[in-house]
Amino acid sequence: MTKPEGRSIFISLKWKLLIAVLIMLTILGGILGGFAYRQLTNQQSYLLESQRDKLAKNLETSISLSVDHSLSAAQQIALLADQDEPNLVSYQDMLNQHWPDLQLYWELNRLSLMSLSGEVLAHAGKLANKDDEIWFESVSMNLEPHWRIVCQQECVIQVLVPNLLQGEVHFLFMESGLTDILARFRTNDSFELAVLGTNNQLNESQSYWGRQVYSISNRRDSLFHLEQAAEQFTWEQIENTGGVYKVGGEFSVLWIFPLAEGESPPVILVINNISDWQSLISEFQESMLGTLLLSLVFSGALVILAAWAPVVSLGRHATLLPLLAEHDFDTLKLLSPRTSSFIVDEVDLINIATHQLAEKMQNLELEVDEYTSELERLAMLDTLTGLPNKAMLMHELTKTIACVGRIHDKVALMFLDLDEFKRINDSLGHTKGDELLTIVANRLNHSVRAMDTVFRQGGDEFLILLRGTRSEEDVRKVIHKIFASLQQPVVLGNHKLIVTTSIGVAYCESNNVRAEELIKHADLAMYQAKDAGRSNYRVFTEEMLQKANNKLMIEQDIGAAIAEKQLSLSLQPIVSLSDGKVKGFEALIRWHHPERGLIMPGDFIPDIENSEAIIQVGNYVLEEGGKILSRLIKQGWGELYLAVNLSAKHYLDPGLIPLVQRVLSKHQIPPQSLLLEVTEESVIEQVDLALEAMQSLKSLGVRIAIDDFGTGYSSLSYLKQLPFDVLKIDRCFTAGVLDNSVDTHIVTTVIDLAHNLGRTVVAEGIETIEQCEFLAAARCELAQGYLFAKPLEERKAFRILNEIETDGVWPLDSLPQLAKLGS
């Protein structure tokens, strides 16, 4: 039997079924038994409550009868007193004469005739005490019968009845014991009674819960019960809910019945023996438990008899089904042969289905083996060109690298990317694009050696694995054959195309190189070739990898540089050639990296100029430039302007116009004080968009300069249309202006051209007095360069401005020496 994985415990289905049935029956029996038990206890509570209510009514009736008995006695005594002329003396004589009979017949302990003021006029029996007098005073104002039960030496009932004597109202005060009340109250011999006084009786030897016992039935047993109850319950527990306690294996319940109203009246404590009820409940519990056990045993036996055989059959299938997963179909058929029966059940259907499934799986396995071989072949090929795909490339490249040093001295990997393929695909359609890829794949296959393999990675990217390469000359021969084959025109419908490709080459001379790493190196070399122009190739060098890593580092760190203000602006003065006065500054960015130190713009701007980071840097420069212009204005140099360089991407960004507006407004800067420089090449690449952007900026009042003029391929017609203000001649022309060479004629021609267009000219890279004199003679207005100053920190630039505040002439000796480091 196959065992489950992990820390699992196997329990057979037959035992699970048996346990489930037993648990279900146990729960059901427990619920039914609990319900019956609850009904029985509820019935017991109901009967006990009924008995308690009945006793309470019986007590009330007994007291009423005792009071009525006293009223009757009062009437009889009045009749006896009326036989003679009633007066106080005769009344006392009557009491003295008939007291023994009255005491015996009416069970009186005391009889007094009292005036309304409380004076005892006639008396027989016990004498009144102070408490009796207080009670009389409290009730005598109401000429109605009154009664109370009070416990002193014993518990008695006292009745006060109004009586007429000689036409005046008197009270007849009668006192009798509680014997009749208790006799009528105790209707069941199973009840035991105890009369307890108030809780201010402190005789510990004869008190329970602070109350003295005045009367008790079955004194020998009842006192023991009282002692046990006093130990187990507080008086409040018995008074509120009653208490059930167990003594000597018997259960009893306690009830309290007050004998009078008030805060702590005398009470009758009833001790009710309920052992019979408790025995009945215990017997019921035992019978229910026995019945439940018998039911479990009986049900378990039924389950075993009814379900054992099918479950055993299922267990056998549990050992057979793993054979399907193991594809051991013959063993399965041998261990579980087909059987036929007139009556079948679910287990038989499982057996039939198992055999059918085994046959289908056996047939399917044969088909899968056939298709797998075909799919393995197709999975390694590109469906469009039929060339091996990237999966095959990784497999073959890994295998070939492992053989370097043993079979191959050197391995070369070429990465090819077709030039301008996207434009061809977009203009002619994807169908023609796919046709072109198929033609290129065939030509590449015919351009390599027999031992080499051409792969298609995807899109217009191809890779060629060159095995057995002895020298770089072998690779160059293959590359030239590829370039030659692709020079042949490709006919696509009515279109004739010449396709070119950029190739990157990476060599592998060690088997420690990973396949992914070699592909990455070839890819980097391909991009270097593409940057060099169409139909070029480059061989990978470590310098390429270093540049790629440097570019990645710069892209990752530039955000932190902006946020942490690692970027700063240096200022290079722009001087008038006619009078030597400073006219403005060009803001040149510097990066003070916390780890790499000072990074010049040429070392990081090219790496981010095609990303969104260049816009963030441009925005930062504009914001900081606005602050510098604001400080210049505050120090009285409002006529100076600040030139800020913009990248082509930033120049065409929709957010540039709102940013310039915000900077001008925020710092209260005259628009003409801000000069935005854009290179000639970036303008010519997208003339229409550049023209629209320039017009928008000009509407704000800012000025625009064409930077590095002469390095691009600008058309004079385009130049005429552009609304710029300043033309800046690149330093590559001003450097040779004194050599009477071509540069001299170019510079003079550009100056004349700018003046004919009504533009101002700024010459860059001025380092000698002679250059200044030549450019001044050629009517060039402004110049900047190391002759005047290297890019200065803002603090130093402002210090020089303070020194030349009177005439504004920039000093030529502000730098001790000139250096050709570039700005």
Distance between CA 711 and CA 200 in Å, rounded? 121
Instruction: State the residue for tokens 């391909």.
Output: 526
Q: Are residues 562 and 678 in the same domain?
A: yes
Q: Are residues 65 and 212 in the same domain?
A: no
**Per-residue CA distances from 412 to 51, 248, 379, 643 (Å):** 110, 105, 25, 50
Residues linked to residue 166 through DSSP beta bridges, in sequence order: none
Residue 397 lies in a domain: yes
- Write down the pLDDT at residue 820: 33
Residue 706 lies in a domain: yes
Is the Cβ–Cβ distance between 591 and 605 less than 8 Å?
A: no
Work out the number of other CB atoms within 10 angstroms of the CB of residue 220.
7
End-to-end CA distance of the chain: 82
Query: Considering 136, 166, 181, which residue would you say is the last residue of a domain?
Result: 181
CATH number assigned to the domain comprising residue 49: 3.30.450.20
- Write down the pLDDT at residue 809: 92
Q: Are residues 440 and 480 in the same domain?
A: yes
Q: Are residues 655 and 769 in the same domain?
A: yes
Work out the number of other CB atoms within 10 angstroms of the CB of residue 621.
19
Q: Are residues 801 and 653 in the same domain?
A: yes
Residue 599 lies in a domain: yes
CATH number assigned to the domain comprising residue 686: 3.20.20.450
Rg from Cα positions in the chain: 61
- Write down the pLDDT at residue 135: 82
Angle formed by the axes of helices 542-563 and 515-531, nearest 10°: 80
Instruction: State the residue for tokens 């805060």.
Output: 263
Query: Considering 181, 215, 241, which residue would you say is the last residue of a domain?
Result: 181
Q: Are residues 702 and 801 in the same domain?
A: yes
- Write down the pLDDT at residue 88: 75
- Write down the pLDDT at residue 726: 93
Distance between CA 115 and CA 484 in Å, rounded? 152
Q: Are residues 108 and 22 in the same domain?
A: yes
Distance between CA 551 and CA 529 in Å, rounded? 17
Residues linked to residue 246 through DSSP beta bridges, in sequence order: 251
Q: What are phi and psi of 457, to 5 degrees?
A: -80, -30
Q: Are residues 529 and 591 in the same domain?
A: no
Distance between CA 588 and CA 784 in Å, rounded? 13
Is the Cβ–Cβ distance between 266 and 198 less than 8 Å?
A: yes
CATH number assigned to the domain comprising residue 240: 3.30.450
Long-range pairs of 598-603 with CB within 8 A, sequence gap ≥ 24: 600/822, 602/822
Is the Cβ–Cβ distance between 695 and 668 less than 8 Å?
A: no
Instruction: State the residue for tokens 């002329």.
Output: 85
Residue 303 lies in a domain: no
Residue 318 lies in a domain: no
Is the Cβ–Cβ distance between 67 and 159 less than 8 Å?
A: yes
Residue 396 lies in a domain: yes
Query: Considering 339, 362, 378, which residue would you say is the last residue of a domain?
Result: 378
Residue 324 lies in a domain: no
For residue 1, what are the contacts with CB-CB under 8 A and spacing of at least 6? 318, 319, 322
Helix (H) / strand (E) element for 143: namely none
Q: Are residues 60 and 170 in the same domain?
A: yes
Q: Are residues 57 and 142 in the same domain?
A: yes
Q: Got the DSSP string for 233-260?
A: --HHHHHHH-EEEEETTEEEEEEEEESS
- Write down the pLDDT at residue 663: 92
pLDDT digits (tens, 9 = 90+) for 697-720: 899 999 999 887 766 555 566 677
For residue 670, what are the contacts with CB-CB under 8 A and spacing of at least 6? 638, 701
Residues of the chain with pLDDT under 50: 1-2, 814-823
Q: Are residues 252 and 341 in the same domain?
A: no
Torsion of CA 709, 713, 719, 723, to 10 degrees: -60
- Write down the pLDDT at residue 693: 86
Q: What is the CA 557 to chain-centroid distance, rounded?
A: 31
Residue 319 lies in a domain: no
- Write down the pLDDT at residue 727: 92
Q: Are residues 654 and 761 in the same domain?
A: yes
Residues linked to residue 465 through DSSP beta bridges, in sequence order: 413, 453
Q: Would you call 630 helix, strand, or coil by DSSP?
A: helix
CATH number assigned to the domain comprising residue 392: 3.30.70.270
Domain count, the chain: 5
- Please give the residue range of the domain that contains residue 31: 15-181
